[in-house]
Structure 1
Amino acid sequence: MVKNTGFLICLLIVAMDVVAGIMGIEAEIAQNKVKHVKAWVFECREPSREAFGLGLAACVLLALAHAVGNWMGGCVWIRSREDLNRVTANKQLAVASLIFSWIILAVAFLMLIMGTLYNSKSRRSCGLAHHRLLLIGGVLCFFHGLFTVTYFVSAKAARIEDRSARPQPPRQEPA
Structure 2
Amino acid sequence: MGKYIGIFACFLIVALDVTAGILGIKAEAAQNQEKHLRLWIFECKEPSHDAFVLGVAAATLLSVAHVLANLVGGCNVCSQDEFHKAAPSKKLSVACLVFTWIILAVGLSMLVIGTISNNKSRASCGFTHHHFLSTGGILCMVHALFSVAYYVTSTALLL
Which range, TM-score by smaller chain?
Answer: over 0.9
1:127 corresponds in structure 2 to 126
2:98 corresponds in structure 1 to 99
2:142 corresponds in structure 1 to 143
2:12 partner SS? helix
CA deviation after TM superposition for structure 1 residue 77, in Å: 1.1
2:116 corresponds in structure 1 to 117
Cα deviations by residue, 1:84-137 (Å, 9 ceiling, x for unpaired): 232112211110000000000000000000000000110111011100000110
Give the AA of the match of 2:13: I
Which whole-Å CA distance do the structure 1 matches of 2:117 and 2:71 have between them? 31
Structure showing greater Rg: 1
Which whole-Å CA distance do the structure 2 matches of 1:122 and 1:106 have between them? 25
Which whole-Å CA distance do the structure 1 matches of 2:123 and 2:56 have between them? 18
Alpha carbons of structure 1 residues 42 and 109: separation in structure 2 relative to 1, 3 Å? same
Give the AA of the match of 2:42: F
Give the AA of the match of 2:12: L
2:75 partner SS? coil
Which whole-Å CA distance do the structure 1 matches of 2:56 and 2:69 have between them? 20
Q: Which blocks of at least 5 consecutive residues in structure 2 are unaligned?
A: none
Spell out structure 1 runs of 4+ moving beyond 4 A.
none
Which whole-Å CA distance do the structure 1 matches of 2:91 and 2:78 have between them? 8
Matches within 5 A, 1:14-163: 14-80=14-80, 82-158=81-157, 160-161=158-159
Answer 1 or 2: which has greater helix percent: 2
Which whole-Å CA distance do the structure 1 matches of 2:32 and 2:14 have between them? 27
Q: Which blocks of at least 5 consecutive residues in structure 1 are unaligned?
A: 162-175
Q: TM-score, normalised by structure 2?
A: 0.96
- Among the aligned pairs, what percent are the same residue? 49
1:8 partner SS? helix
Which whole-Å CA distance do the structure 1 matches of 2:9 and 2:152 have between them? 10
Which whole-Å CA distance do the structure 1 matches of 2:69 and 2:89 have between them? 16
